[in-house]
Amino acid sequence: MEFSTEEITQQVAHTARDFAAQYIKPHMMEWDETQEFPRALFTKLGELGMMGVLVPEAYGGSGLSYIEYVTIIQEIAKVCGSIGLSLAAHNSLCTGHILAFANEEQKQQYLPGLASGKLLGAWGLTEANTGSDAGNMRCTAVKDGDDWVINGTKNWITHGRSGDVIVVVARTGEPRTKDNATAFVLERSTKGFSGGKKENKLGMRASETAEMIFDNCRVSDASRLGKVGEGFKQALKVLDGGRISIAALSLGIAKGALNAALQYSKERHQFDQPISNFQGISFKLADMATEIAAAELLTLQAAYRKNKHLPMTKEAAMAKYFASEVAVRASTEAVQIFGGYGYTKDFPVEKFYRDSKLCTIGEGTSEIQKLVIAREVLK
């Protein structure tokens, strides 16, 4: 198995790194404190091709592979997890769903705008009472002539208020039955659709997380993505790719925390020497570096299999599970290495610490990943 070291991978890493340093780092704490979602930033990312990383050039995208995609998410998340999260959700969930399951007319209608960053994507599966139990969703779509009428709410949706293009999975059959859900794509201006409560979060505070409300929201049958009843199956396939996104996001956060801890441990002196000289600190750094390296290999393995169109449900779940837990451990140790300073907002590690926890929850909790992995292993 070979992971790409092509020049294009290095180029996108350099571009993402420079972008994060110039446009994100100077503002990230202000955005975090105020919970401001910097919408204009994503237009700039679109101009660099980062809002349509996986979208073919024929639809206005960059036409890159999952290796480059993972690289971009990591580089952005090394500086700010919030921006990395929004970038990942736009690319892998909304845009990814349309790319994988829309018909040609739908692709032509939505992908160019999404890939350019002129349009922002949102993807609705989770509900207040059906997080991991998504098959028991209550948001329904009922056929009415040539239209569908959608009623219900979706919660914990990235860009739930700001998204211009919405992919929603709604129940079109009986609860817990096979093939009971269908996916639809619609625009924010659609009558009966609105954004609801914005969540006040521990971390990832500059990434908008909000409720989406469907109140007799009428869409034409032309808005349907794929066949009736395929929505949940589609969502599971989209989540496989999304889990690679969260693994990459986790890696970026973990690497950012490690880099900060390394630098600080060399600069901070106690007992007339840098604290990196002490075994108690150096062993923490060794553990962090080793776990991050292992998480990166799992993530690249999943990305490689995704590129080759090989089965990767198990690999994606392993990468997401392990990398997200590593991000929490690495950021926790980084705070410890910084000591009292790590507990203040004057240094970056407290933000890595807060942002990391979401990675073990979003797009399937660690516990759900274990179920997926166990199911695949026991086949």
Task: DSSP for 241-305, please give it.
Answer: HHHHHHHHHHHHHHHHHHHHHHHHHHH-EETTEEGGGSHHHHHHHHHHHHHHHHHHHHHHHHHHH
d(CA 88, CA 324) in angstroms, rounded, equals 15
Q: Do the beta carbons of residue 61 and residue 54 sit within 8 Å?
A: yes
Which residues are registered as beta bridge partners of 150?
141, 217
d(CA 185, CA 180) in angstroms, rounded, equals 17
User: Which residues 6+ apart lie within 8 Å of 373 measured at CB?
Assistant: 314, 317, 318, 321
Active site residue 230: no
By CB atoms closer than 10 A (0-12, 13-18, 19+), residue 71 is buried
d(CA 323, CA 294) in angstroms, rounded, equals 8
Residue 187, helix vs strand vs coil = strand
Q: Do the beta carbons of residue 66 and residue 307 sit within 8 Å?
A: yes
* Cα end-to-end span (Å), the chain: 24
Which residues are registered as beta bridge partners of 282?
none
Q: Do the beta carbons of residue 275 and residue 265 sit within 8 Å?
A: yes
Tokens of 205: 């505070």
Closest to 234 (Cα-Cα) out of 139, 286, 167? 167
Task: DSSP for 110-136, please give it.
Answer: HHHHHHHTSS-EEEE--BTTBSS-GGG
d(CA 314, CA 328) in angstroms, rounded, equals 21
Supply φ then ψ for residue 371, to 5 degrees.
-60, -45
Q: Which of 75, 363, 367, 376 is catalytic?
A: 363
Q: Do the beta carbons of residue 136 and residue 176 sit within 8 Å?
A: yes
Query: Where in the sequence numbering do the catalytic residues fall?
Result: 363
